[in-house]
Amino acid sequence: MKVNVSFDQSDFNKADLKVVAAYTNKNADGIQHTLSSKEIMDEMKALKISKNFIAKEGTQLLFNLSDGSSVLAIGMGKKTTAKAEQIRRSIANAYKAIKGELYNSVAFDMASFNAVNKLDITTALTKEALILTAYDFNKYQAKQNKNSFKAITLFVNDKKVKRSLEKKLVEVQNLAESVCYTRDLVNEAPNILHSEEYAKRIEKDVKANLKGVKVKIMGKPELKKENMNLFLSVNAGSNYGPRLVHLTYTPKKVTKNTKHIAMVGKGLTFDTGGYSLKPGASMMGMKFDMGGSATVYGAFRAAVLNNSPYKITLILGMTDNAVNEKATMPDSVVKGRNGTTVEILNTDAEGRLVLADCLDYACDQGPDYIIDAATLTGACLVALGSEVCAVLGNDQKWIDSIKKSAKDQDEYMWQLPIIDEWRGQMKSHIADLRNIGTKKFAGTATAAAFLENFIKNDVKWAHLDIAGVCDSQSHLPYCPEKGGSGLIVRTLANLLS
């Protein structure tokens, strides 16, 4: 589906379906909705049902005009309180209401949705919401859902915004398509997207779409040379080689003030738990355990396409966590890249082992800031549900800027603390660290207390646990009902812009 923008009123007038926003602001006749188009409003008033339509958020009214075309009025609530997220959600609901219908042409009246009072932003948000909502992962289904219409027109009644809008539309398309790219990766089956294939796919996408980005891919021999034994210990039982994908983006203009940000992602293409095997029901869905890497890649992709001013290093640690006779046994002691020894008491706490070596490697690339993303702990779901992303780290200013970026993008993020008692829980009797805490609580924070040991050179570090938000649980109308949500890509891409 294409999303076109038109400044020509006749493109709106001739559309089979006109989508307009309606607000609860009362007007003179006591009718509890207001539309910006007087012509449509007049015809709407003549309808008997019109008196009953209170344009609260979440309501919709479909009716016909005398010229034979149709109108879908989308309830938005009070005009004064509408926010960006409300536009995203309303547009998503509008799209869902019409997607299976037979209209030849559909046009949205952007002025009517312009509750944030910035017509260019409203139009860009609409395009973003349409791309995010139209997403479908159906490549393995014989019968594919087809949209009846090929394009949607966004009618903008003010040519003054044309220049600023053009730039915003390109940026939002890069962003939304990158969110969908992340979803595609997360949704792929683990027998297809194993570590070797995953690395190839990223390399192919970089070569095709991200001009100027340097690619380095490391396999088992290179990881051995780098002493990344914690990472390798997770891969020990696997049929597929481990992959460390290292991408570097350098902006066109670099000065001594150019900040260097490294992002690190957990890329477990499947997590059986290893010898500490997960029960069947908990193992289901563990293809999404590469979601952290897919999320930071999506953000990197959008940032590069939108010419980020930062130098960005991306490190993706890819393997599955499988079991065979070579798999790592619980009680093993393994020395990581930074020389720290770890007693691996539970092979299901594998993500932190991969991240540990990747974080140490990332620090050596000389970044000012590091952010990692991982589907790291089930405890994160217990604490924050499937709606809120956890953030922890060693630098409050860095964490605050990430939280602000999440807020700007209407994505939920909440900070959890790392306290000395939890740091203490990660000390081992026979090695420097153990890979699980001594108590069953605070699992998200003890995991972060473990990771903290692999940050060096005073790099400012933040960790995102996306175990809850990565898999869509249908609380957002612009996310798929099931499967990869693509959440947090927007927060990170915004951070890098």
Local structure of 99: helix, strand or coil: coil
Q: Does 348 bind ligand BES (CB under 6 A)?
A: yes
Active site residues: 278, 352
3-state SS of 206-250 is: HHHHCCCCEEEEECHHHHHHCCCHHHHHHHCCCCCCCEEEEEEEC
Q: Does 43 bind Zn ion (CB under 5 A)?
A: no
Sheet (strand 332-335) strand order: 332-335, 341-344, 433-434
CB 393 within 8 A of CB 463: yes
Q: How far is the CB of 270 from Mn ion (least distance, A)?
A: 10
Q: Does 271 bind ligand BES (CB under 6 A)?
A: yes
CA 351 vs. chain centroid, Å, equals 19
Q: How far is the CB of 335 from ligand BES (least distance, A)?
A: 21
Binding mask 332-371 for Mn ion (x = CB under 5 A): ----------------x-x---------------------
Residue type, 244: L
Q: In the chain, what is the straight-line distance between the N-terminal and C-terminal CA atoms, in Å? A: 27
CB 96 within 8 A of CB 61: no
Q: Where are the beta strands (DSSP E) in 100-172?
A: 106-109, 151-155
Q: Does 351 bind ligand BES (CB under 6 A)?
A: yes
CB 402 within 8 A of CB 491: yes
- Among 292, 351, 437, 484, indicate the residue that binds Zn ion (CB under 5 A): 351
Q: Does 350 bind ligand BES (CB under 6 A)?
A: yes
What residues between 289 and 348 interact with Zn ion by CB under 5 A?
Answer: 289
How many residues sit close enough to Mn ion to count as binding (CB under 5 A)?
Answer: 3
Nearer to ligand BES by Cβ, of 251 and 378: the residue is 378
CB 356 within 8 A of CB 317: no
Nearer to ligand BES by Cβ, of 303 and 467: the residue is 467
Local structure of 476: helix, strand or coil: coil
Q: How far is the CB of 488 from Zn ion (least distance, A)?
A: 17
CA-nearest of 27, 86, 88, 16 to 57 is: 86
Nearer to ligand BES by Cβ, of 112 and 446: the residue is 446
- From the number of C-beta atoms within 10 Å of its C-beta (0-12, 13-18, 19+), residue 179 rates as buried
State the maximum Cα–Cα separation within the chain, in Å, rounded to a whole number: 82
Nearer to ligand BES by Cβ, of 291 and 480: the residue is 291
Sheet (strand 151-155) strand order: 2-6, 151-155, 106-109, 17-22, 70-75, 60-64
Structure-token match 């393995």, residue found? 140
Q: Does 289 bind ligand BES (CB under 6 A)?
A: yes
CB 268 within 8 A of CB 352: no
Q: Does 271 bind Zn ion (CB under 5 A)?
A: yes
- Among 121, 344, 467, 496, indicate the residue that binds ligand BES (CB under 6 A): 467
Q: Does 346 bind ligand BES (CB under 6 A)?
A: yes
Nearer to ligand BES by Cβ, of 165 and 383: the residue is 383
Position of minimal CB gap to ligand BES: 378
- Partner from ligand BES, Zn ion, Mn ion, none binding residue 379, C-beta < 5-8 Å depending on class: ligand BES
Q: Does 349 bind ligand BES (CB under 6 A)?
A: yes
Q: How far is the CB of 258 from Mn ion (least distance, A)?
A: 37
- Among 60, 375, 405, 425, indicate the residue that binds ligand BES (CB under 6 A): 375
Q: Does 336 bind ligand BES (CB under 6 A)?
A: no
Site for ligand BES, rule CB under 6 A: 271, 289, 346, 348-351, 375-379, 381, 436, 443, 467
Residues lying near Mn ion in the complex (CB under 5 A) are found at: 271, 348, 350
